[in-house]
Amino acid sequence: MRMKKILPAFILLLILSACGGQTVTPASEWTATPLPVPSLPPAASFSGLPSNSSELPPNTILPTRNPKTSPPPAPTETAVTIRFSPIDGMPQVFIPAGTFFMGGFDVRAAPDEFPNRQVTLDAYWMDQLEVTNAMYQLCVSAGGCTPPQKPASQRRDDYYNNPEFKDYPVVYVTWEQAKAYCEWAGRRLPSEAEWERAARGNDMRTFPWGEDKPDYRFANFNFIVKDTSRVGTYSLGASPFGIFDMAGNVAEWTNDFYSSGYYAIGELTNPLGPLTSTNYLRVVRGGSLGDAEVNIRISKRSAVQGPIPNTLPGSPESLGAFSPRIGFRCAQDE
């Protein structure tokens, strides 16, 4: 079954969730449905290493396949297990426990993407879609969230409250607002490592779909669309786990504090990021509708101002940054 064939069911569920009453079902009664979905081709080629590869940090992992002499592995069938949250209708994808490649593996990798390394994670669930306006409105109506800082989007003045955009990603939310939503929904913000594994799978691909050059078929980026797209629009751009919009559309908050040198000292098993960060910066992943190709690579890390503790409530310092290009998705422990 191709991803584009199962997508309408997800969108329909989102619409029903937004329009209907909210029913909370115990987690023990949630259903998990295995769906046979062909995985996208693994990375077709590696475009090389930085020109100063001789100066890479210790333990940097080099690609083991020469794209000039070794053909890409053939696609394989995988079983994607999906369940639906009884709280907000979000389809959640099961990410099995395992070890994956984390960090930069292409010539455009930035210094804070090194040293690349192998990281081991426990199993978890990842939202298949970015949290939508309709989902977020459920949380606001229930008293678990506050409205976005602005009701607009990049170019639309009437966005958050407009039914036309109910299945589009919520934007103008701070890190605290994203965290509050995930907690209300019985989930949490993903760690940076969890986000990257969900986007990359088990190989060294540069983009969620592989190595094909990004264009309008794979992602909403570089102002091709000029504003947000309906979540799940780009089925060809799905990750190996069948997760949508992990490149472009809106960038996504993670739970981690940002440190440019964290990869050199971070844990290799279930890393949670540094304990704090200069100026309380948080990691944002995935790139956005306005980002160029280089900034929608899986390994690209962005540092965005999070809330600063012990500052005046409601002040810019206490809120942190918010943007028409930043949204979020949630994760949940297995």
pLDDT for 42 beyond 70:
no
Please write the tens of the pLDDT for every residue from 159-173.
Answer: 999 999 999 999 999
pLDDT for 19 beyond 60:
no
Asked which of 48-57, 144-153, 182-191, 246-255 is least confident by mean pLDDT, the reply is 48-57
* Domain CATH for 308: 3.90.1580.10
Confidence (pLDDT) at 78: 56
Domain span holding position 15: 3-333
Question: pTM for the complete prediction?
Answer: 0.80
How far does CA 73 lie from the centroid of its chain? 25
Confidence (pLDDT) at 80: 81
Q: How far apart are CA 22 and CA 83, in angstroms?
A: 17
Confidence (pLDDT) at 32: 41
Confidence (pLDDT) at 16: 39
Q: Report the pLDDT averaged over residues 180-184.
A: 98
The sheet with strand 326-327 has its strands ordered as 301-305, 281-285, 251-257, 326-327
Confidence (pLDDT) at 61: 53
pLDDT for 243 beyond 50:
yes
Greater pLDDT, 64 or 301: 301
pLDDT for 55 beyond 90:
no
Q: How far apart are CA 323 and CA 325, in angstroms?
A: 5
Sequence-distant (6+) residues with CB within 8 A of 248 are 214, 219, 220, 221, 234, 237, 286, 287, 288, 289, 291, 296
The 3-state DSSP class for residue 10 equals helix
Greater pLDDT, 125 or 70: 125
Greater pLDDT, 303 or 1: 303
pLDDT for 39 beyond 60:
no
Confidence (pLDDT) at 207: 98
| Percent with pLDDT over 70 in the chain | 76
Please write the tens of the pLDDT for every residue from 267-297.
Answer: 999 999 999 998 999 999 999 999 999 999 9
- The pLDDT mean for the chain works out to 84
Q: How far apart are CA 79 and CA 77, in angstroms?
A: 7
Q: How far apart are CA 50 and CA 66, in angstroms?
A: 16
Give the total number of structural domains in the chain: 1
Greater pLDDT, 303 or 7: 303
User: What angle is formed at CA 16 by the lines to CA 230 and CA 178, rounded to 5 degrees?
Assistant: 55
Nearest of 106, 4, 97 to residue 51 by alpha carbon = 106
Q: How far apart are CA 315 and CA 317, in angstroms?
A: 5
Q: How far apart are CA 193 and CA 64, in angstroms?
A: 22
